[in-house]
């Protein structure tokens, strides 16, 4: 593999001045907790990718389907944030909503659908984030940049993973818009964050890479 591929195995470090200490996050979660979870992901990805490189194998982001990799970023945060913030827990209900719950709010820290909590997403997109339902929810999105499994065929140069921004806010149903589909499409119907929701989240930014 090329020297640039080796260099791309190590993610870009977080901007230490990029965290907004004034960001308002509910349930006791603070920017410092977000920073620790993000750093753990960078450590994890760097370790895995460097190990793969020793076996002449592609990086995770270079062979996983793009949507699956984004989901992995989000799931890692859901698993890691409660380690650093003891007032939140992962929703124990299978496919329950939202992903993170205030500790002790629900019996067994489990709910199929609760108004209280934080929904987490990982995304390569700077806006237009999607969900399966238009609903009231506190949404936090971890935006990142990385190669994808399509880049090799398109002759796009290797580049290291990096977090671009983290934003979050309480969204209302009116902040979502359902995405249409054709009569023959099999795509799952989804809802996208409207401009109003985007502006709420951008105003309450938690991290910017610079």
In this predicted model, what pLDDT tens digit does every residue of 78-98 receive, in sequence order? 999 999 999 999 999 998 999
Asked if residues 17 and 209 have their Cβ atoms less than 8 Å apart, the reply is no
Task: In whole angstroms, give the CA distance from residue 114 to residue 151.
Answer: 39
Question: Angle at the Cα of 173 (from 167 to 175), degrees rounded to 5?
Answer: 45
Task: In whole angstroms, give the CA distance from residue 28 to residue 161.
Answer: 29
Report the sign of the C-alpha dihedral through residues 187, 60, 198, 91, in that order.
positive
Q: Where are the domains of the chain?
A: 3-178+186-208
Task: In whole angstroms, give the CA distance from residue 168 to residue 149.
Answer: 28
What is the value of pTM for the model shown? 0.92
What pLDDT, in 10s, does the model give residues 26-64?
Answer: 999 999 999 999 999 999 999 999 999 999 999 999 999
Task: Name beta bridge partners: 9.
Answer: none
Q: Does the 3-178+186-208 domain belong in CATH 3.40.630?
A: no
- Element holding 208 (H helix, E strand): strand 205-208
Question: Angle at the Cα of 114 (from 188 to 191), degrees rounded to 5?
Answer: 25
């Amino acid at each position: 593999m090329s020297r640039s591929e080796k260099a791309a195995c190590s993610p870009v470090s977080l901007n230490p001045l990029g965290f907004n200490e004034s960001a308002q996050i509910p349930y006791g979660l603070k920017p410092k907790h977000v920073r620790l979870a993000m750093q753990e992901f960078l450590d994890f990805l760097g370790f895995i990718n460097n190990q793969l490189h020793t076996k002449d194998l592609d990086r995770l982001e270079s062979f996983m389907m793009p949507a699956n990799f984004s989901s992995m970023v989000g799931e890692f945060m859901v698993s890691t944030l409660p380690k650093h913030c003891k007032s939140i827990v992962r929703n124990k209900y299978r496919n329950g909503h939202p992903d993170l719950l205030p500790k002790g709010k629900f019996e067994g820290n489990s709910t199929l659908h609760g108004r209280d909590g934080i929904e987490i997403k990982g995304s390569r997109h700077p806006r237009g984030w999607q969900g399966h339902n238009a609903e009231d929810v506190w949404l936090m999105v971890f935006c990142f940049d990385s190669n994808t499994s399509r880049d090799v065929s398109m002759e796009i140069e290797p580049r290291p993973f990096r977090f671009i921004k983290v934003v979050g806010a309480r969204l209302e149903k009116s902040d979502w818009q359902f995405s249409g589909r054709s009569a023959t499409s099999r795509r799952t119907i989804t809802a996208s964050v409207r401009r109003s929701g985007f502006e709420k989240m951008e105003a309450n930014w938690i991290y910017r890479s610079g």
